[in-house]
Amino acid sequence: MLIIDCPYCGPRDQSEFSNGGEAHVKRPDGSAEIGDREWGEYVFIRANPKGIFYERWVHSHGCRKWFNCVRDTSTDEILKIYKIDEERPKLDSFKNNVKTPSGEPNLGSGNFTVKK
């Protein structure tokens, strides 16, 4: 279970939040012209990396504000939390724990909190 540092309320238990999936998804321009396939990709396809993932959360049982988060999906470690209007942090500013696409990290979920 995660402790999420809401940029407005501070650290709270994950049960107060709802996950909003991938962040920074842009609706394609000219939706009247684009084909079914491109539209389908926008509607149905989201990034699903093992490693660094940009995602949205909403503090549903708190301030009810949306914000963005960078989390390592191989360890569940939260690396950065930033407000919705802040610029997306660069990918190479984070260390990737997974050496191959489906490889395992050295430290599993939660262990980084005690072994780091």
Partner 1 sequence: MKKKYSIFSIAKNALKGHKDWPKMWRSPEPREFYDVIIIGGGGHGLGTAYYLAKEHGLKNIAVIEKGWLGGGNTGRNTTIIRSNYLWDDSAHLYEHSLKLWENLSTELNYNVMFSQRGVMNLAHNEHDIKEIKRRVSANNLNGIDSIWLSKEEIQKKVPIMNTDNLRYPVLGASYQPRGGTARHDAVAWGFAMRADEMGVDIIQNCEAHQIKTKNGKIEGVETSKGFIRANKVGVVASGHTGVLAETAGIRLPLQSKPLQALVSEPIKPIIDTVVMSSAVHAYVSQSDKGELVIGAGTDSYNSFTQRGGFNIIEETVRAMVELYPVFGKMKMLRQWGGIVDICPDASPIISKCDVEGLFFNCGWGTGGFKATPGSANVFAHTIAKNEAHQINSAFNLDRFASGKLVDEHGAAAVAH
- Residue ranges binding partner 1 (CB under 8 A): 1-2, 14-15, 18-19, 21, 35-37, 39-41, 43-46, 48-50, 53, 55, 71, 73-76, 100-103, 108-110
Pairing verdict, β 18-22 and 10-13? unpaired
CB of 112 to partner 1, least distance (A): 11
Question: Measured from the CB atom, is 41 or 86 closer to partner 1?
Answer: 41
Torsion of CA 87, 93, 95, 100, to 10 degrees: 80
Question: Measured from the CB atom, is 30 or 48 closer to partner 1?
Answer: 48
CB of 44 to partner 1, least distance (A): 4
Q: DSSP 3-state assignment of 49?
A: coil
- Asked if 18 and 60 count as a contact pair (C-beta separation under 8 A), the reply is yes
Question: Measured from the CB atom, is 49 or 62 closer to partner 1?
Answer: 49
9 CB-near residues (< 8 Å, 6+ apart): 59, 62, 63
Question: How many CB atoms neighbour CB 96 within 10 A?
Answer: 14
Question: Measured from the CB atom, is 37 or 90 closer to partner 1?
Answer: 37
CB of 89 to partner 1, least distance (A): 18
CB of 75 to partner 1, least distance (A): 7
